[in-house]
Amino acid sequence: MDFTYKNTSVYFSCKGKGSAVVLLHGFLENSTMWSKIVEVLQKKHKVICVDLLGHGKTGNLGYIHTMDEQANMVKAILNHLKLRKYIIVGHSMGGYIALSIAKLYPKNIKGLCLMNSTFLPDSKVKKQHRNRAILAVKQNYKTFIKVSIPMLFSEENALKLKKEMNGIIKEALKMTPQGIVAALEGMKIREDYSFILEKKQFPILMILGKQDPVLDYNTLKNQTKNKPIQVVNFSGGHMSHVENIQDLICTLLTFIKNCKKT
């Protein structure tokens, strides 16, 4: 379905009936990444997937797509669907946007799952990496995509899941350089969301990949020490929805069930 946000066309899907679950994809991805998960969740839940700004079938809004702008766009769709309470699952960049929604609209959140994502902002070094990535995109965005996506998998899975990886690359190549740069710029300036951990306003689940080449596993673990948060560790890298799909589905089903009890 198409929705208009600030004169920009936004694509989303809404399937199933029941309590609402919102799935937000990561950088260089789109809502198709959730297809196997939607197939299961829609049997008992209303599942909303959104192509974020500059990704999939959704247009670009500007040179920078901040996490707050993305969050307000998603919220506009949820308001359009007349949804008051929902569980949000965000992968990587989608996790940052989920955190922004939780910051801006905490009373609407029934549960929050960060999948291969973090509460922390970019470090100085990470911001430098983002700047280099922006230059690479401007020089040749197709090469940037083809190089970047294999680096999201653990070494073992990068070889084992070649077909799936090529499918992700194919989808990413549909993006424009502007959409890629706008996302990089937005992630680079995102804020520290650690304060959300302290508030205990809703259940939080953090899914980590032990071989994540993007986010340091030990740093992620340290974020959650002595915090009221559930942590689940998978064996793979940054792409849990591909590398650990069955474990992920089971974990999400359990989390959603527990959120419904609160």
The answer, yes or no, to whether residue 218 has pLDDT greater than 70, is yes
Tens of pLDDT, residues 184-210: 999 999 999 999 988 878 999 999 999
pLDDT value for 118: 97
Across the chain, mean pLDDT equals 96
pLDDT in tens, 89-140: 999 999 999 999 999 999 999 999 999 999 999 999 999 999 999 999 999 9
> What is the Cα–Cα distance from 20 to 126, expressed in whole angstroms?
34
pLDDT at residue 257 greater than cutoff 90: yes
Tell me which residue range forms the domain holding 240.
2-261
Span 53-68, average pLDDT: 97
Average pLDDT over residues 52-62: 97
Give the HSE-up count for residue 128: Cα atoms under 13 Å, Cβ half-sphere. Answer: 3
**If pLDDT is split at 50, 70 and 90, which confidence band does 224 have?**
confident
Which amino acid would we find at residue 32?
T
Residue 241, number of CB atoms within 10 A of its CB? 26
Q: How confident is the model at residue 168 (pLDDT cuts 50, 70, 90)?
A: very high
pTM: 0.97
CB 58, CB 85: distance < 8 Å: no
**pLDDT at 56 > cutoff 70:** yes
What is the tally of structural domains in the chain?
Answer: 1
Which tens digit of pLDDT belongs to each residue from 83-101?
A: 999 999 999 999 999 999 9
The answer, yes or no, to whether residue 262 has pLDDT greater than 70, is no
Percent of residues, the chain, with pLDDT higher than 70: 100
User: Tell me, what's the pLDDT at 12?
Assistant: 98
pLDDT tier at 18 (50, 70, 90 boundaries)? very high
**How many residues are given for the chain?**
262
CATH of the domain at 246: 3.40.50.1820
Least confident of 64-68, 194-198, 241-245: 194-198
Average pLDDT rounded to a whole number, residues 21-30: 98
